[in-house]
Amino acid sequence: MAARATHKWAFKPGMRAGAYSWKSSSKAIERLKSASSEIRAVARVDPVTAAEGVIALAQRIWPAFEHIDTSSGALGNAVRRTLEELLPVLIEALADEKTRGKWLEALREAIMNDGVDYLAPIADRFGQIATYTSLMNLHADMDLDMIEAVWSDHAHIIHVPTATLTLSCLLEAGRYDELLALLDRKKTRLWFDEKFGAEALLRQGREDDALARAEALLLDQRRQWGHVEIAQFCERILVSQGRAEEAYRRFGLPSASGNTYLAIWRDLVKRYPDLDARRILEDLIDTQGSKGKWFAAAKTARFLDIALECAAHYDAAPATLIRAARDLKLREPSFAMQVALQAIRHLVEGRGYEPSPLDIDEAVEHLMVAAARIDAVDQARQALRWIEGSALSAGIMAERLARNIAVIEVAINPR
């Protein structure tokens, strides 16, 4: 389907079929970012044209990216983020039923031709994109009989490209009984299908049934795809029922996730503003383990006593501790001193990623600056002596420490 003649999309030439080779993932991701920015800019002045831009992009994703190596998952994640970012533009555009019907036909064809389910976010919300109940029913019915037949055949596994969009349309059209009956025909229970059934139960006010249906997937011995999303679905139900503490224990803690340990803690604090932030951090450390990895989160959260406990743990990263000592040696000298000592101990005991003797030099430097701020230079020297004496072997790190201690002692007691 061609976009409106009044707008020429700059992203189209870079999204032609076969435009990218095997190792072009980074380039493709940048192209997606550029296309998203262009579409969102147009959406501010012409939402309908922007919606057609979303469709034009969706139609081109698979043909353009077909030959790219997707094994790292980076491109797939970028496509998902881009589509999720643009879907509101498509859903909220004020288009009449005829126009939206043409959009749906174009999207349906793109989904059917999609080789790796790049367009899964669009299929997930197809019913919402349809907007009009008549269009929801039209697309729900197109392949309904075929899906029923395929899912009733438990001897074979056959992928149906339009199954998800069909479930989405049944859900948004309020055809809950048909939706649940269709899911019951399927042998395997997977969240990308079951989420529609759980949501159908929830929309009927059957909260306990929805919770049980979703939680059953978490109890599967195999780690269910989408386990975080499942847990958060269950969590929302309990929170809505006023059972926040139970939600936190059963689902909040196990589903906490983020790109960093600090992000994980912040996410959970945001979701449970009435719970003590310190308690949440302690619970995360207890449930997720890797105590040393939580140092930066504890430090940033200003729970410095917890941070020191994390710094002492064997899996704390010496490089992270050294940076903290560097940043806080003037503002928090006592804390920085203890952190620097732990970094030195870890290095001497052979820990850290690609450690260098220069790391010992840097850690000792920050240690002595912090110690001088609180008149604890001799205490720092004695602590270094203790680390040296407790070293299991005289490796290169221990030798470097001994050299630093000798320099310090000369400085303290010059002849």
Amino acid type, 155: A
Domain boundaries, the chain: 12-257, 317-412
pLDDT digits (tens, 9 = 90+) for 112-156: 999 899 999 999 999 999 999 999 999 999 999 999 999 998 777
Residue 190 predicted with pLDDT over 50: yes
- Average pLDDT rounded to a whole number, residues 283-310: 92
Residue 52 predicted with pLDDT over 90: yes
Residue 39, helix vs strand vs coil = helix
Range list of H helices, 173-271: 176-184, 191-203, 207-218, 227-240, 244-247, 253-255, 261-271
Q: Running DSSP on this structure, what letter comes out for residue 4?
A: P
SS (H, E, C) 145-171: HHHHHHHHCCCCCCCCCCHHHHHHHHH
C-alpha to C-alpha distance for 387 and 71, rounded to whole angstroms:
45
Q: What pLDDT is stored for residue 221 in this prediction?
A: 57
pLDDT digits (tens, 9 = 90+) for 62-118: 999 999 998 889 999 999 999 999 999 999 999 999 999 999 999 999 999 998 999
C-alpha to C-alpha distance for 90 and 49, rounded to whole angstroms:
10
Q: Which residues of 230-241 are buried (b: 16+ CB within 10 A; e: fewer)?
A: bbbbbbebbbee
For the chain, the distance separating the N- and C-terminal CA atoms, rounded to the nearest angstrom, is 88
Q: If pLDDT is split at 50, 70 and 90, which confidence band does 403 have?
A: confident
Q: Running DSSP on this structure, what letter comes out for residue 293?
A: G
Residue 46 predicted with pLDDT over 60: yes
Q: Which two tokens stand for residue 71?
A: 């094994």
C-alpha to C-alpha distance for 180 and 174, rounded to whole angstroms:
11
Residue 206, helix vs strand vs coil = coil
In sequence order, the 6+-apart residues with CB closer than 8 A to the CB of 11 are 31, 34, 35, 38, 39, 53, 57
Please provide the size of the chain in residues: 415
Q: Which two tokens stand for residue 368?
A: 């002595």
Nearest-10 Cα torsion for 198, 204, 209, 211? 50
pLDDT digits (tens, 9 = 90+) for 222-246: 666 788 899 999 999 999 999 999 9
pLDDT averaged over the chain? 91
Q: What pLDDT is stored for residue 392 in this prediction?
A: 60
What percent of the chain lies above the pLDDT cut of 90? 70
Amino acid type, 39: I
Q: Which two tokens stand for residue 318?
A: 């010496």
Tokens 């679905």 correspond to 233
